[in-house]
Structure 1
Amino acid sequence: MRLASWNTRGLGNKSRGNMVGALVYRFQIQFLATHETMVKRVSQPTLNSIWKHHMFEAVQCESNGRSGGLLSIWRTDYFTLIQSWVRKYWIATILRYIPNNTFVLIINVYAPQHENKKKIVWSQLTDIARNWSGPLFILGDFNSVCSPDERLRETIDHNCITSFNNFILDANLFDQHLTNDDFTWEGPLGKFSRIDRILVNLKGVQLWPHAILITANPESSDHKPIIWGNKLVSRGPKSFRFNNSWLSPFSD
């Protein structure tokens, strides 16, 4: 299985769709979660530019003016939608993963900045995780870090770190190790942080034990896309340094 998550900082025109489509093609993404679309609805031409040669389905959460907005989109030759829920800060989709006939729950998250609102989101996601028995993937921009060394030249909020780690623990999730990078976001004045991540439950880890997590070129966003899966070989120009030891003898 091949998942990607990217805060694109806008998805309001076809050129932005082509930017995302290049990533999708390069890494043969099967499910994509994007955040900060900054539009009420991503247009059909823009959606078409993401997967030019494959059938797809999508679920959206509209932005609040130029703030927020979520899009979950997937190839229908890999996933069949069973059910979805849309909330202000997340989209949950139950899908059947066709290659191994497994029902998976994938939650696309764009967490709020305010700590009290984050705690509400963490509580909602914990309840979902505890009541789902299959593979679970929660991916997105969490606007939180797990430790102080995941921020550089930024203010450290230890209460926020504790709250986020408690959520991961209470929801019985595993934070996927980033193999080729330390940070996923770059701000002004040399600020860096790792606020984009993928959290997986035990069932997901057991089904895909050889999956890795990498970053790719951020293009015109201040966030790097993150890609999770097996055999992550780029079909286009490499946007990161590839290590052959990442290759697995196992198929997706």
Structure 2
Amino acid sequence: MNFLSVNLRGVRDSRKVEWIRGLKTTHGAHFVAIQETKMAGNFNFSINRFWGRTLLDYETVEAIGRSGGLLTIWDPTVFEKFGVIKNRNFLAVAGKLRMTGDVVLVVNIYAQNDPIERRALWGELVQLRRSQPGMWVFLGDFNDVRRPEERFNSEFNSMNAHFFNQFIEDADLVEYQMGGKKYTYRSDNGTNMSKLDRFLVSRDFMGKWPLASVTALSNLVSDHCPILLSTVEIDYGKIPIRLFNSWFEIPGAVEYVENLMAVFRFQGPADLALDVKLKWVKKRLKEWVYSRKSEMNSEYNAKVKRLEEIEVVAEQRLLNQVELEERAECKDLISEMDRLKSMDMRQKSRYDGLRTGTRTRSTSTG
């Protein structure tokens, strides 16, 4: 499953709605948790705009006036709800994964600004955690940090951090290391930053998905970064280029690639630029390798011929120092080129075998 969480500071802005829908589609999110909807009353008509045209289920906690508000949306073909618990500051949805039957409880959290109220919330969440068995995921805006390095140009309150860490310990929760952005909140003027948003999971959840990843994404239309928890193994598709290690054994190959990388220019999306760059470098490296191998083959043949001449002389008389050094040089170059040829042949044979195997499998499943 993939979980997406973000504090939107209001959901009426159509740009925010389109942004979340785009993130949900791009990252294949099965759960989307939104904090600070700032919406009261019935806004069911607009929820599908965050999700798109596929099936959805959802739960909400209304804002009080223009403060707070929670929205959790999920894919009912992946997660089947069997219970919900609502609070002003959290929205807990209990259900089971349809594929495995595992019970998972997802808690969408928006913590108060007041530290005294937050400490009361931590106590409520600990009791909630102990109330039901199953794997737990606590996500959202906790409005607290755990360590001084999670704030930048912003005051660190050790007492608040102590109570927050105590809640995590009492609830027996653990945290994946977060990639992407270092901080998840940035003030409107851009000077103050903090890591206020996170995922906290139960140990059995991490035990089931030890290789899951958490990433803080770019905050294009909010003061909070969306954070993504992915338990799905990512398939990046076919390798964009295939190179042989033996190419880089050729003297000058690494330097040639470094020069190519330095002169490449491309205007366009970064992912497309990387794909084009790799293919462009591979094409020119391949041309350079073939040209260099042709030169080396000529040199190889010349050295073999010269070595044979020296061996004929050696049968007639003792070789002088110059001839001995030349003989050693010829043998070293021939030996090195034979090694490169052998490496090249092994890698090509392995590559041809993989291609043949792929074709065979494709034929058998067709």
- Assess same fold via TM > 0.5: yes
Partners of 1:168 and 1:30 in 2: CA distance: 25
Residue number in structure 1 paired with 2:16? 16
Offset of 1:67 from its aligned partner?
A: 1.5
Query: Larger strand proportion, structure 1 or 2?
Result: 1
* Aligned partners of 1:145 and 1:194 also within 8 Å: yes
2:196 maps to 1:195 = yes
CA contact (8 A) 1:3 1:228 kept: yes
Match in the other structure for 1:149: 149
- State the 1:46 CA deviation: 2.3
Secondary structure, counterpart of 2:207 in structure 1: helix
Q: Counterpart in 1 of 2:65?
A: 65
Partner of 2:225, secondary structure, is coil
In the alignment, is the contact (CA less than 8 A) between 1:140 and 1:196 conserved in 2?
Answer: yes
Larger Rg: 2
1:54-90 residue CA offsets vs partner (Å, 9 max, x unmatched): 1111111111222211001101111111000110000
What residue in structure 2 maps to residue 222 of structure 1? 223
C-alpha separation in 2, matches of 1:99 and 1:238: 36
1:42/1:223 CA distance change after superposition, 3 Å: farther
Name the structure 2 match of 1:107. Answer: 107
Q: Distance in 1 between matches of 2:22 and 2:3?
A: 15
TM-superposition CA deviations, 1:183-224 (whole Å, max 9, x none): 101112511100000000111111111100001121210100
Between the two structures, name the one with larger relative contact order (CA 8 Å, sep ≥ 6): 1
Q: Check 1:42–1:156 CA distance in 2 against 1; reply closer, same or farther (3 A cut).
A: farther
Q: Provide the rounded CA distance (Å) in 2 between the counterparts of 1:232 and 1:2.
A: 11
> What 5-or-longer segments of structure 1 have no aligned partner?
243-252
SS at match of 2:99: helix
Task: Name the CA distance, whole Å, in 1 between partners of 2:17 and 2:46.
Answer: 5
The correspondence of residues 102-251 of structure 1 with structure 2, limited to 5 A, is 102-187=102-187, 188-229=189-230, 230-231=232-233
Normalised to the residue count of structure 2, the TM-score between the two structures is 0.62
Equivalent residue letter for 2:212? A
CA contact (8 A) 2:181 2:218 kept: no
Quote the offset at 1:39 in angstroms: 1.0
TM-score, structure 1 normalization: 0.89
Q: CA RMSD in A?
A: 2.0
Match of 1:38 in 2: 38
Contact 2:141 2:197 in 1 (8 A): yes
Aligned counterpart, 2:317: none
Count of aligned pairs: 238
Kindly indicate whether the alpha-carbon contact (under 8 Å) linking 1:12 and 1:46 is maintained by their aligned counterparts in 2: no
TM-superposed deviation, 1:41: 4.3
Quick one: which amino acid aligns to residue 198 of structure 2? R
Seen in structure 2, the aligned counterparts of structure 1 residues 189 and 222 have a Cα distance that, compared at 3 Å, is closer
Say which SS state the counterpart of residue 190 (structure 1) adopts. coil
Q: Tell me the distance in 2 between the aligned counterparts of 1:7 and 1:238.
A: 27
Residue 247 of structure 1 is matched in structure 2 by none
The whole-number CA distance in structure 2 between the counterparts of 1:157 and 1:185 is: 17
Which has the larger helix fraction? 2
Name whichever of 104-113 and 45-54 sits farther off. Answer: 45-54
With 26-35 and 42-51 compared, the bigger mean Cα shift is at 42-51
Letter in 2 for 1:117: E
**Cα deviation, residue 124, structure 1:** 0.8
Counterpart of 1:104, as a letter, is V
CA contact (8 A) 1:41 1:60 kept: no
The 3 A distance-change label for structure 1 pair 136 and 16 is same
Where in structure 2 are there 5+ consecutive unaligned residues? 237-268, 275-366
Q: Which residue of 1 aligns with 2:27?
A: 27
1:219/1:238 CA distance change after superposition, 3 Å: farther
Query: CA-to-partner distance for each residue in 1:85-124, whole Å, 9 max, x for gaps?
Result: 1100000110111121111111000000111111111001
Correspondence for 2:98: 98
Cα pair 2:142 2:197 within 8 Å, conserved: yes
The answer to whether the Cα contact below 8 Å between 1:135 and 1:203 also exists between their aligned partners in 2 is yes
Report the Cα distance in structure 1 between the residues aligned to 2:42 and 2:168, rounded to whole angstroms: 31
Contact 1:143–1:196 (8 Å) recurs in 2 = yes
Partner of 1:80: 80
